Structure 1
Amino acid sequence: MNQNISMLIKACNHLGYEYEILHESGNLVVVKNQGKSHVFVNWAAPLNSSSVAHLCRDKEYFYQYFKSHINIPKTKGYLNPNCNQLYSSYVKDSNVEEIANNIEQNFNYPVVLKKNRGSKGRNVFKCNERSQIINSLDKIYDLSNYKYDYIAISQEYIQIQKEFRALFLEGDLHCVYEKSITGAKFVGNLSRLHWEGAKAKIVLDIDFLEQIQYFCQPIFQNCELRYTGLDIALDTNNKFWLIEANSAPGFDYLVRDCGEELVIEWYRKTLLLIFCQ
């Protein structure tokens, strides 16, 4: 059973809601109350529509949708030239050399390359020269690797001072935690909470929380993203950037470093919202 489902069950117990575990992994649960039932699967909750969840998973689509509404790093996608013939009509570049040319025409160094649909910092590369771009593309397009994606994206590099995860339910801010790398050691994964010794640290500064709430409002004004964890960077010029949105955020690091209370309360609010709507 993953940490999310474990916290969901504790919230059910607090509320007196009935639940049933339907799979031996523990990660398929139906919650029942007053004749209604709702299913929770792995990290997902039954609040976001399938199209909104798809939008969050696809980084290039997400950028195209939100780029005129919020400050977000420039992003461009590149389809694997050797993809399935079913998608050949979408191919624009005949090889990775041509893709590298396009990236160099549209981005300055350093540039970030990553798989279009990914999480936990898998297949994310900071490239300082052309050879690194080509090597990164080869890794992303490698069919033999479980990290494979048929779309690679290039992304504007941001000089990050601090990075945060902000949890929102129906557009209301639940909490913010910093992905703190103070005293941590980089061990190959650019995602900050994957550094050795990194910690999740709850942000309590009211003024800062209000800034986060204000910065993120355009997302909820333009999309029915009801349940989300937003990754937000503060650059060295104290400017906010939206890095990505997670429609099924995980809570492993938050529970590990900050305890269970905030996550149980998150699920308590989620359940009340679902069963009262």
Structure 2
Amino acid sequence: MKTTASAVKTLCDMPKSHVQKLILKLPQNTHLQQLGLARSAAARLQVLRTLRDVHPDIFSEVLWLAEGKNLPDQKDIDLVPLKSNILCLVEACRKLKVKYTIDSQRGIVAVYVKPKQPPLYFKRSRAPFNSAVVSEICKDKDALNSILQDSVHTPKGECYLDPDVEERYQPYRMHLSLKAIAKDAMAKLGLPLIVKPNAGSEGRNVAKCTNSREVITALAEIYNKDSADYDSLALLQEYVEIAHEYRAVAFMGTVLLVYEKDISKAQHTDNFSPLHWQGAVAKHITDKSILASLQEFTSNIYSKLAIEYCGYDIAIDKTGKMWLIEANTVPMFTIFLEHNSADLLIDMYEKILHTLFTPTSR
């Protein structure tokens, strides 16, 4: 497999007519036209830089074609490829001879299950397997924990409505100030507390609080209506002392991919999500005992709530007890692919395709 750097050099040095033939295989795009017209290596390099920043999916496709349709797996200092789950899905389709079409500019892949049936559509990190209701339940952390509390360990928690919520929701308020919320939560859950948006993601606005003032500050961040991350509901939970945290990606009840959020050499940042810490690593897990334990744990969830495709965040505390932290119906693999071979994700998609699809020639 060629490196990204060699693919870039190939594009910059090849005759203009060859570049034009190559980009005819991709959707119409202004930057691609500029690439086809550029004569010098320096001019093409500048177009590639712009394409990388503005249309990363198309940029990856250009490199892919230049590399003989192999996914790039090495970073170049100047041009960093997008190793995306969409490209891994496409590679899985190609390996299994499953018919597909791809809209690189929009990040959409249509996968044809069987002849004379409509395709299943994937859009970037979104897959077509979960119902809208199941996805909404998983997004609502309080509702999810309520459903699963008798099946797996979930942190004890309380959900609180913004005291300054819009007028039509004010009759549902139980507490009229941040101070009152903090007092109630500390009385029920003790300290320290985890304060998070009920529908948040990627560790944004999540805080560990050790006193009333910190709880009030964290609530104010969540209830800040000027913030793009505003949530009218805050979830306050007991703190779990985590020894290990895993992401287990499962399809139709079977765990297909597991990695540990390894922070042993990381420095804490203002984001509570471990993989967003400086120096954190997504460590692929192959240990059979760990995989078996996670499979048993997620099977208990699936028997209660059929989440067909999910990235479970599962913690193991200092005593060895397993806890469900979150269930993500739109698992993303950007950080995983920074630390691991794309072949692992391609293999995951192959297993999904084997489960669902009758291969057809492209």
Partner of 2:173: 91
1:250 aligns to 2:321 (yes or no): no
Which residue identity lines up with residue 82 of structure 1 in the other structure? D
Structure 1 residues 29-38 or 208-217, which shifts more?
29-38
Paired with 2:166 and 2:107, the residues of 1 have a C-alpha distance of 33
List structure 1 runs of 4+ shifted beyond 6 angstroms. none
For the Cα contact (< 8 Å) 1:142–1:148, is it kept in 2? Answer: yes
- Tell me the TM-score normalised to structure 2 length: 0.72
Q: Confirm whether residue 13 of structure 1 aligns to residue 98 of structure 2.
A: no
Residue 31 of structure 1 and its aligned partner are, at CA, apart by: 2.1
Q: Contact between 1:19 and 1:29, CA under 8 Å: does it hold in 2?
A: yes
Distance 1:87 1:27, change over 3 A: farther
Aligned to 2:222: 140
> Which SS does the other structure have where 1:114 is aligned?
strand
Counterpart in 1 of 2:280?
A: 198
- Within 5 A, what are the aligned runs for 1:162-241? 162-241=244-323
Q: Whose RCO is larger (CA < 8 A, sep 6+)?
A: 1
Kindly indicate which of the two structures has a greater share of residues assigned to helix.
2
Identical aligned residues as a percent: 35
Q: In the alignment, is the contact (CA less than 8 A) between 2:157 and 2:189 conserved in 1?
A: no
**Which of the pair is proportionally richer in strand?**
1
15 and 178 in structure 1: CA distance in 2 versus 1, 3 angstrom threshold: same
Local SS of the residue matching 1:63: helix
In 2, the alpha carbon distance for the partners of 1:125 and 1:207 equals 32
Cα distance in 2 for residues equivalent to 1:191 and 1:72:
17
Aligned length: 275
Per-residue CA deviations over 1:69-88 (Å, capped at 9, x if unaligned) read 11111121111122122322
Tell whether the 8 Å contact from 1:111 to 1:128 is kept in structure 2 after alignment: yes
3-state SS in 1 of match to 2:315: strand
Partner residue of 1:44 out of 105, 111, 126: 126
Q: Deviation of residue 28 (structure 1)?
A: 2.6
Distance across 1 between alignment mates of 2:237 and 2:183: 15
| Separation in structure 1 between the aligned mates of residue 230 and residue 102 of structure 2, nearest angstrom | 32
Contact 1:47 1:274 in 2 (8 A): no
Which one of the candidate residues 330, 333, 349 is aligned to 1:267?
Answer: 349
Q: Which AA in structure 2 matches 1:230?
A: Y
5 Å matches for 1:107-126? 107-126=189-208
Partner-residue secondary structure (3-state), 1:53: helix
Deviation at 1:22, TM superposition (A): 4.4
1:29 alignment counterpart: 109
TM-score (norm 1): 0.94
After superposition, what is the alpha-carbon deviation per residue over 1:183-210, rounded to whole angstroms, capped at 9, x for unaligned? 1111221211111111011122212221
Contact 2:102 2:110 (C-alpha < 8 Å) held by counterparts: yes
Cα displacement (A) at 1:268? 2.1
Gaps of 5+ in 2: 1-56, 58-81
Following superposition, the deviation at residue 175 of structure 1 comes to 2.4
Task: Supply the RMSD in Å over aligned alpha carbons.
Answer: 1.6
Gaps (5+ residues) in structure 1?
Answer: none
- Residues 29 and 183 (structure 1), Cα distance of their counterparts in 2 relative to 1, 3 Å cut: same
Give the Å deviation of 1:146. 1.1
Q: Report how far residue 155 of structure 1 moved.
A: 1.0
Partner-residue secondary structure (3-state), 2:259: strand
Deviation for aligned residue 1:264: 1.0
- Hey, what's the Cα distance between the residues in 2 that align with 1:19 and 1:151? 41
1:4 aligns with 2:85: yes
> 1:27 deviation in Å?
2.1
What is the CA–CA distance in structure 2 between the aligned matches of 1:87 and 1:27, rounded to whole Å? 37
